[in-house]
Chain A
């Protein structure tokens, strides 16, 4: 019967993102249910009665997961959305090339695609785990600005400064995050 309780608890949390909060909640909920089950059986309930009482006593877990779930889009959508994005990017590249002979700066559109992909990944992740894709997006943006500025002015040394700016932006956001967590 304890396996049945474990399976029920696993099932309640199966769609939740595996954040620290959810992992902790899983263990706490399971230990609470098992404690209660053992206690009920010890005080004379049948295993079936005890199981029913334990399950009925859990209540609305979705409410608890509310803050863990919010801002997270359905992960199943990420695949289709990503492939549509890349189809559009390839289409855009060929369109710019064939109709406007813009093969040369036109290839930058792939960097824009990478930027959008990072932002998409971030949107589908729990807020606590967005740091990676967002840092990626920052440096890809810097690269795009670097190349556009470089090709437009041909002053590549000055264009390099954009990377210093990107590092500064990253450190400042880190600082802000540390302050906010205190």
Chain B
């Protein structure tokens, strides 16, 4: 759980953008979606989530508007911008590529690839 969530934390921005590319949303709804989709294995801290929103806002990937809740505090809704969609496409491509590379590197029957770079002593221990 903790190692997986470390890996996931690095991709919070992409997860948020992917969710917002489907429809406008707000902090709690996004966190709840993350919780449900991950079968309760992952839940972001509010601070992590809002930090990501501010980063994405400053980068021009998302914009916000206030909800019209009459009781209590208003929700801060987020909408993905066109440049946010471009950034999401790029992140998805990067992610796919990184995933391919890591999958290839950790496949057990592939360890002889790149063997020409190994010292003879080392390759025998692998």
Q: Which residue of A lies closest to B53 (CB)?
A: A28
Partner of B43, one of A57, A60, A64: A57
Q: A74 to B32, alpha carbons, bound, how many Å?
A: 38
Is there a chain A Cβ closer than 8 Å to B74's Cβ?
yes
Q: A29 to B72, alpha carbons, bound, how many Å?
A: 12
Is there a chain A Cβ closer than 8 Å to B28's Cβ?
yes
Q: How many residues of B contact A (CB 8 A)?
A: 21
Partner of A31, one of B45, B47, B76: B76
| Stretch from A34-42, A154-162, A166-174 contacting the other chain | A34-42
Partner of A32, one of B27, B43, B51, B54: B27
A57 touches B69 (CB 8 A): no
A149 to chain B, nearest CB (A): 44
Q: Which residues from A are CB-within-8-Å of B49?
A: 32
Partner of B47, one of A21, A34, A39, A61: A61
A66 to chain B, nearest CB (A): 9
Q: A57 to B90, alpha carbons, bound, how many Å?
A: 31
Interface string of A21-33 (1 = CB under 8 A from B): 1001101111111
Which secondary structure dominates where chain A touches chain B? Answer: helix
A32-62 interface with B by 8 A CB criterion: 32-36, 39, 57-61
B2-30 interface with A by 8 A CB criterion: 26-28
Q: Which residues from A are CB-within-8-Å of B31?
A: 32, 36
Q: Which residue of B lies closest to A12 (CB)?
A: B47
Q: Which residues from B are CB-within-8-Å of A34?
A: 72-73
B69 to chain A, nearest CB (A): 7
Q: Which residues from B are CB-within-8-Å of A33?
A: 46
B87 to chain A, nearest CB (A): 19
A32 touches B28 (CB 8 A): yes
Is there a chain B Cβ closer than 8 Å to A83's Cβ?
no
A2 touches B72 (CB 8 A): yes
B45 touches A59 (CB 8 A): yes
A29 touches B50 (CB 8 A): yes
CB contact under 8 A between A27 and B76, given known A39-B28, A64-B50: yes
Q: Which residue of B lies closest to A65 (CB)?
A: B47
Is there a chain B Cβ closer than 8 Å to A128's Cβ?
no
A90 to chain B, nearest CB (A): 46
Q: A24 to B75, alpha carbons, bound, how many Å?
A: 10
CB contact under 8 A between A24 and B47, given known A31-B69, A36-B28: no
A31 touches B72 (CB 8 A): yes
16 A–B contacts from the bound complex (CB under 8 Å): A2-B72, A27-B74, A28-B27, A28-B76, A31-B67, A31-B76, A32-B31, A32-B50, A35-B28, A36-B31, A57-B43, A60-B45, A61-B46, A61-B47, A64-B50, A64-B54
Q: Which B residues are within 8 Å of any A CB, using their own CB?
A: 26-28, 31-32, 43, 45-51, 54, 67, 69, 72-76
Q: Which A residues are within 8 Å of any B CB, using their own CB?
A: 2, 21, 24-25, 27-36, 39, 57-61, 63-64
